[in-house]
Amino acid sequence: MFGLVRTVVNAFEWTKPGFIQIRTATKRAAGSARNHGGSPGKRLGLKKFSDQEVHPGCIIVRQRGTKFHPGQHVGIGRDHTLYALTPGYVRFYTALFRGKPRKYVGLVATRGEVLPRNESEFGKSRFFGAMELTGNPEPQIDPPQPQAQ
């Protein structure tokens, strides 16, 4: 009987304070920053508004994705920036595309013109600088005057 008691006592020797192993952290915990300070704004949005005069290469809209689509005499960059291809005045308009309304930005030669253009009556507007290429009656653009200094 003493042998059995000794075996039971030996079985519980690991519970003595010297035998218990405790795993502790080997690296100190770091705090996490919230919101990380942010990044600077990308200066997106409209750069020219309706009825403002623009020159070729002038940026009209900086955008992510195509919120506005290029219309008459407006080009689109690889980052979806819309810019002027010819001199003129900015026009914003909405037209249907595949049954859904879509916002467009276009340029007109004079302030009195409206977009979308009636192509059945006037044809497509094709300017090369200030010279009309289609032969249809189109208002001419006055060349820019040199500024006196």
Measured from the Cβ of residue 115, the count of other Cβ atoms closer than 10 Å reads 19
Residue 37: predicted pLDDT? 75
Q: State which fold the 45-132 domain adopts.
A: OB fold (Dihydrolipoamide Acetyltransferase, E2P) (2.40.50)
Could you say which DSSP state residue 29 is in?
A: P
- pLDDT at site 116: 86
Q: Where are the domains of the chain?
A: 45-132
What is the pLDDT, as a whole number, of residue 149?
63
Q: List per-block mean pLDDT (blocks of 10 residues) for the chain, which spans 149 residues.
A: 63 65 74 77 96 96 97 95 96 95 94 83 66 56 66
pLDDT of residue 89: 96
Find out whether 50 and 68 touch, Cβ atoms under 8 Å: no
